[in-house]
Each structure stands twice: as structure tokens, then as C-alpha cells.
Structure 1
Amino acid sequence: MEAKKISASRVYKSSHVLPPDTNNHGTLFGGKLMAYIDDVAALSARKHARKSVVTASTDSIDFLKPIKVDSEVYLESFVTWTKNTSMEVFVKIIAEDLYTGEQLLCATSFLTFVAIGDDGKPTTVPKVIPETELEKFLFEQAPFRAENRKRRRKESYNLITKIKENYN
């Protein structure tokens, strides 16, 4: 399977933030932004794998700045790293004030997706080729994030075991 440039998985999405999309502070609901993030990241994973994909984890969403009503929220995603059947996807979220043109980096996120074959089972994905400085940085740091995911997943299974023990 031939490796692919990271840029081949890049996806952009933008949306106008309207009053129904906001909370009582006049800023975008976190859950609404999370749905946008999952959507755009899934598209990047699917473009890279050219297979169906499922979200395996949302590793992090760091909300840095609020996104105000009547702004444009702009998301950019791309696959940063792959293992055998899984792909790490990075999403950056920028808000633009539509009156002034000021842009702010408002959030970042990492998600993991697994490619699914026609048999309904995980299937292999191509490796990635980073080109830009940001892509190289994210690619080089990916094994550390993968190790953190593995540790967090083990902790989650331990928690589930404890919860089950209390309800049996």
C-alpha cells in the first residue's frame, strides 16, 4: 500500500454561527462544535483510507477562545499519523469576526479513526508523508499521543470494571 501525502486528506468546513447555535453567553455550544469536529475529521480519515471509517476516540478538544454569535467558524482537518488500521486526525478551529476580519485560533482537537473493510472488520490504511513544518511536527509527536491514548484506554477499561463491580 503506497503512502500518501498528508495534504491529500485535508478537509475544510465553515459555518455561520447563528443565535440558535449559541448558549446564554452568546457563544457557540461546545457540543455543536464537537459535532463539526467529528464530521470534518471523519471526512479526512475517509479521504485518506478511501474506506468507511468509525471514530475510535476523541483524544482531546482544547477550547482556547469562545466563538461568538455572528462569526464564521472555520475548521481544517488532516490525517497526521497512521498505525495499521487506525489514523490520527488533527483539527484546528478558527473563528473570524465577519465585521472586522479578525481571526482567532479558538480550539484544537485530535481524534482517532479506524478504517473498516467491506467485511465490517478493521482494514489497513496507507502511511502518511508529512511535508510542511506543522505536518512534520505533528507526525513526530504522534507516537507520544498514541502512547497516551493507549494508557487512557487501559484506565477506561479499569474504570468500567469498577463500575460493573458496584452494580452487580
Structure 2
Amino acid sequence: MRFHTRKWIKPEDLNPNGTLFGGRLLEWIDEECALYSIVQLENPKTVTKYMSEIDFKSSAHQGDIVEIGIEVVKFGTASLTLKCEVRNKMTRESIITIERIVMVALDENGKPRPHGKKKVEFVKDRLK
């Protein structure tokens, strides 16, 4: 799994228990998956269709640095299925895992649009 983004837990990210608010973490995951999928599918109209069970494994506290990891599970006709793990950067302890996140490429009318992709591509390889 490749860990693409790091977040620093700040006071505004905390819940009443003083730990990272799950909704904030899900916001970060959704944004990271959207950005990753938009780049992979080369379509800025890519949206989240589905998230499987969300498994909170541990909490994070103010001052912790977390990193968001994404791995491609499969390419569909108009979709990209990812899995995600967020972990504490310093301890490597897993904070949350999501086994399946389905992102869908849309056309100008908001309907699924086939993307023709079969494998992960890196931007540097497209520029050759």
C-alpha cells in the first residue's frame, strides 16, 4: 500500500473525547480517494459511489501525524475500486481500514462513463 498524504491532528479535528473525530477522518479519506481516482481515470468528474465497512482500530490524538494509504483493488468499466488504511506515522499503528471504496467516472450528464483503464498509471509515464 502506498501512503500518499499526511495530516497533522489539530484541536479543530478532535471530538468531545479529545481524540480524532471519525467524520473528519472520513472526510480526509474521501478527498484522498477522489484525488487519486481523478488522476488515475483522468476525469475530474469522478465521485464516491460506495464505501464498505469502516473499521476503527485505534484513535489518534492532538499532535499525532497520520498518513493515508490507498491501494487499487480493481478497475471496472467506469469505476475504480480502492482499499484504504490510515495509520499513525510515528508508531505505524493502524487507525482505520476500509476494504472497498468504489469511485465512478461520470460524463457531462452525471452518468457513468467508461474510462478504458486497466492498470495503475503514473503521471511521469504519461509524459514520455
Task: Give the TM-score band, short-chain normalised.
Answer: 0.7 to 0.9
Alignment pair present for 1:17 and 2:6: no
Partner of residue 86, structure 2:
93
Alignment pair present for 1:123 and 2:123: no
Counterpart Cα distance in 1 of 2:59 and 2:66: 11
Counterpart Cα distance in 1 of 2:77 and 2:85: 25
Q: 1:122 to 1:91 in 2, by over 3 A?
A: same
For structure 1, the 5+ residue unaligned runs are 1-6, 130-168
| Structure 1 vs Structure 2 CA RMSD | 2.0
Alignment pair present for 1:105 and 2:94: yes
SS in structure 1 of the partner of residue 12 of structure 2: helix
Q: Normalising by structure 2, what TM-score?
A: 0.80
Give the counterpart letter for 1:106 in structure 2. Answer: I
Q: 1:11 to 1:116 in 2, by over 3 A?
A: farther
Residue by residue, what CA displacement relative to the aligned partner does 1:61-110 show, whole Å, maximum 9, x if unpaired?
A: 211111122100110223320221111111110113xxxx3221111122
Matched-pair contact (CA < 8 Å) for 2:78–2:105: yes
- Could you say which structure has the higher helix fraction? 1
Counterpart Cα distance in 2 of 1:86 and 1:11: 21
Q: 1:11 to 1:47 in 2, by over 3 A?
A: farther
Structural mapping, 1:22-101, within 5 Å = 22-51=14-43, 52-96=45-89, 101=90
Matched-pair contact (CA < 8 Å) for 2:13–2:21: yes
For structure 2, the 5+ residue unaligned runs are 121-128
SS in structure 1 of the partner of residue 52 of structure 2: strand
Instruction: Point out 4+ residue stretches in structure 1 off by more than 4 angstroms.
Output: none
Matched-pair contact (CA < 8 Å) for 1:11–1:44: no
Structure of higher CA gyration radius: 1
SS in structure 1 of the partner of residue 28 of structure 2: helix
